Amino acid sequence: MTDHTGNNGWSRRRLLKASAAGTAGLGALALNGKAPFHFVRNAWAEEAIGNFPVKGKSVVFGFNVPQTGAYADEGADELRAYKLAVKHLNEGGGMLETLKPSSLSGQGVLGKKVDYVEGDTQTDPDAARTSARRMVERDGVIMYGGGSSSAVAIAQQYLAQEMGIVFMCGLTHSNDTTGKDKRRYGFRHFFNAYMSGKALGPILANEYGKDRRAFHLTADYTWGHTQYQSIKDFTEQQGWSTVDNIMTPLGTTDYSQFLTAVLNSDADVLVLNHYGKDMNNSLTQAVQFGMRDMQKNGKDMQVVVPLYSRLMAQGAGASNIDGVYGTTNWNWVLQDAGSQAFVKSFEAEYGFPPSQAAQTCYAQTLLYANACEVAGTFYPPEVIKALEGFEFEGMGPGKALYRAEDHQCFKDILVVQGKGPDKKSGEYDLLDIVSHVKRDDIIYPVDTFAGELGPYKPA
């Protein structure tokens, strides 16, 4: 917890800034990060945005993760990763050694020690906003990150834009996050449903044939909708047809009425656009309904879970996920230097390997810090510009690019298959990497999704 008392002036600052922003426009932005450091600081001293300028000897990051509610375990893992990231930023180690190009020193950021505060999103957009706002207003954070649900991420992203605080998304997989709801102050390192579809489509067609009939069950919210759309589009491109889709309420415990509908149809593939507990329930019950040992249209019926996470796989149980296809952003068994550096330091610290949620949160924190170093300032518009179009490697397999136009990070992703009880070698070894899909195969034109990033200075 840090002691920050400069809050009473906050609203006044905002007022000044709000009135000035309209006229000053982009003029001030003509100054760029290449100016001498001290000069830059002075020039921006009056241009307060969010919690810039940073006072004192330390800079505060806010980590807003689900500590209660359905995704609390994921949140706990994210928080572990954040703490590790802060440790590495202050003391060196981890991916600091592998990130290229890197301006990180391992002695804080821009000469300031990194401090952090944590908050609880409760996996609820409203609670997440409240918590984020508290970090901004009370704790004076310069950036915040986290989240384990797209609705939560999107809600926080809008807040970030309003407040002028950079938001580094945690686990969020909806196309909307960097699509129709993209914001200038929000950045996503995690992949999205579109990439899942693009990576998964050909592999499914190759494995199960091109004349499959799919039935979707979809969680009724932003992420579910976009994933349904993406998987449908990409499987249909491969020649599949879509029999039907049922929107299921978030948090359904018994899916039997929907599974009965699947049984009654002539579909021979079941696609579960569910995440977390919803997926645990729907997959387990689909297996109980015999959907993995059944024949339809003369073919073996198949179940697909497009978005996988190790924690989810653990919750569903090894026998249920055995052989089920899906995609994932990252897995701890990857052998590239960046992943290994992270896994080793994480295991040394906590005694078990990190989840993909942890990896994305860790990477995001380092990327933000690095952008500050590159920009030479915490001034948000400059940090944003440093992140936009940033190409790097050493945070996972292959080269990664933060696309400037939509703040989506493009990098290699994984198509995986669940490992059955007899194939897995340990408690955490649940996913088998089927294919390593290259960045160039899943990239898409920026105009695929509508939406505007908005201004560099919050309105």
Residues 364-383 close enough to bind another protein by CB under 8 A: none
**Residues within window 164-203 making contact with another protein, judged by CB under 8 A:** 176, 181
Residue 425 engages another protein in binding (rule: CB under 8 A): no
- The single residue among 115, 162, 268, 406 that binds another protein, judged by CB under 8 A, is 162
Among 256, 243, 258, 255, CA closest to 297: 243
Burial-class residue 60 by CB neighbours within 10 Å (0-12, 13-18, 19+). buried
Rg (CA), the chain: 22
- CA 17 – CA 24 distance, rounded (Å): 10
Binding mask 41-80 vs another protein (x if CB under 8 A, - otherwise)? --------------------------xxxxxxx--x----
- CA 241 – CA 237 distance, rounded (Å): 9
**Residues within window 313-372 making contact with another protein, judged by CB under 8 A:** 314-320
Cβ at position 117, least distance to another protein in Å = 7
- Number of amino acids touching another protein (CB under 8 A): 81
Binding mask 433-452 vs another protein (x if CB under 8 A, - otherwise)? --------------------
The three-state DSSP-derived secondary structure of 343-387 is HHHHHHHHCCCCCHHHHHHHHHHHHHHHHHHHHCCCCHHHHHHHH
186 forms beta bridges with: 167
* DSSP sequence for 111-150: TBEEEEEEEE-TT-HHHHHHHHHHHHHTS--SEEEE-SSH
Cβ at position 211, least distance to another protein in Å = 20
**Residues within window 73-102 making contact with another protein, judged by CB under 8 A:** 73, 76
- The single residue among 62, 94, 108, 119 that binds another protein, judged by CB under 8 A, is 119
Cβ at position 393, least distance to another protein in Å = 32
Main-chain dihedrals φ then ψ at residue 61, nearest 5 degrees: -100, 150
**Looking at residue 419, what DSSP letter applies?**
P
- Measured from the CB atom, the residue of 159 and 395 that comes closer to another protein is 159
Q: Segment near another protein (CB under 8 A), from 96-104, 215-223, 422-430, 441-449? A: 215-223
Q: Segment near another protein (CB under 8 A), from 44-52, 156-164, 396-404, 429-437? A: 156-164
Cα first-last separation, the chain: 30
CA angle 402, 165, 56 (to 5 degrees): 115
**Distance (Å) of CA 304 to CA 204, 238, 255, 337, 436:** 9, 15, 16, 31, 18
- Measured from the CB atom, the residue of 200 and 430 that comes closer to another protein is 430
- The single residue among 257, 300, 348, 433 that binds another protein, judged by CB under 8 A, is 257
Residue 244 engages another protein in binding (rule: CB under 8 A): yes
**Residues within window 273-302 making contact with another protein, judged by CB under 8 A:** 277, 280-281, 284-285, 288-290, 293-294
Residue 311 engages another protein in binding (rule: CB under 8 A): yes
- The single residue among 49, 54, 104, 154 that binds another protein, judged by CB under 8 A, is 154
Among 221, 229, 227, CA closest to 250: 221
- The single residue among 239, 251, 323, 389 that binds another protein, judged by CB under 8 A, is 251
**Distance (Å) of CA 332 to CA 9, 347, 359:** 45, 10, 9
- The single residue among 97, 220, 336, 429 that binds another protein, judged by CB under 8 A, is 220
- The single residue among 155, 304, 363, 409 that binds another protein, judged by CB under 8 A, is 155
